[in-house]
Amino acid sequence: MMASEITIEERRDRLRLFRSENVGPVTYRQLLGHYGSAVDALAALPDLTRRRGGRAIKICPADVANTELEALDRLDAALVTVGEPTYPTSLAAIDDAPPVLSVRGDGRLLREPGVAIVGARNASTNGRNFAQRLAADLCDGLEDKRYVIVSGLARGIDGAAHRGALEASGSTIAVMAGGVDVIYPPEHEDLYAEILATGAIVSELPPGRRPQAAHFPRRNRIISGLSLGVVVVEAATRSGSLITARMALEQGREVFAVPGSPLDPRSRGANRLIRDGAILTESVADIRSGLAPMLAAPPRPETPAPTLFEGLADSEGDGLDSARNAVAACLSPTPVTVDEIVRQCQVTAPVVHTVLLEMELAGLIERQSGNRIAAI
């Protein structure tokens, strides 16, 4: 599936496909890659669901998709789908790239080299000031050495990073955990407006959707996916910032961490990242030197990625019936990679991908980062 322009109808049907029940990013790309168009993939969903003997999944109606598109139009927002030329290049390179993105503001920024700055919501004054200065310094410089700052509009470090970019007359992208029009936290209403005026606001959720706890980890993969590297400034040992750092590593991005006092719980996560191999960051020079190799060879998308989409089996005669029991026996609540499932089951990758696709549509498995599968 090469990057190409699509019709209005195909864009609507791609939105319908992703908004259908149990169709996640990986299954979406497999369906689109196999059937060639969203309308054909939608037509195949009932049969794929029946193969597992479960109830029919809810397919997103055309009028629901049209309502979402109309809401985006009222917001002067664009909907871009993976595979289109306007879709961000670095984000398309990750396995679970969001199939659709709602974008307010300057969508061209999503294809510029980005650096994510994330950290504690209850950040110290020093931590906020340092994040703000880092962001400003990264936005300063020659055209080919200037970065777009990516963060999540949260309190603390996120907000400071956005402000640093804006004060330096640079560019910044806010990735939302709710709809592209839902300002969270509410006290960042003015900051949201400033970002919208010169930067970009991004979400994979429909307009009007309120952020929920489960949305934030998925939001974090977009933050790291839009970036060449992730900088962590203050983070507890169990925090969303460390999730973002882990996702960055899985996506082949560079991870930077600002050291802090071992007596401050807000610094323990960043200090642990340094101990585990993250680049110790004391100034913008550390980030620029660490990203130099990434700029020379930035992530390139392959849609669908070879490790993700190796074809689907077309019929029961391809060994699907006997493979279903074998694949199910390999699964448990502990995640396992798809490659390991292929090795254990000793069946072809297309058959395994097809069985997993059926199981996801039936709500029997959960796909996790790193191309891992867990039974529900």
Q: Domain 107-296 - what CATH class? A: alpha beta
> What pLDDT is stored for residue 316 in this prediction?
57
Per CATH, the number for 316-375 is: 1.10.10.10
How many CB atoms sit inside 10 A of residue 231's CB?
34
The span from the CA of 350 to the CA of 353, in Å, is: 5
| Domain edges within the chain | 8-86, 107-296, 316-375
Residue pLDDT, tens place only, 218-248: 999 999 999 999 999 999 988 999 999 999 9
- What is the Cβ-side half-sphere exposure of residue 69, based on CA atoms within 13 angstroms? 19
> What pLDDT is stored for residue 306 in this prediction?
36
Higher pLDDT, 350 or 55: 350
> What pLDDT is stored for residue 365 in this prediction?
92
Residue 137, pLDDT > 90, answer yes
Residue 170, CA distances (Å) to 8, 180, 196, 199, 320 in order: 33, 21, 13, 9, 53
Q: Whole-prediction pTM value?
A: 0.91
Structure confidence at residue 3 as a pLDDT band (50, 70, 90): low
Residue 317, pLDDT > 60, answer no
Looking only at the bridges linking them, the beta strands covering 200-203 and 100-105 are antiparallel
The amino acid occupying position 91 is L
Residue 72, pLDDT > 80, answer yes
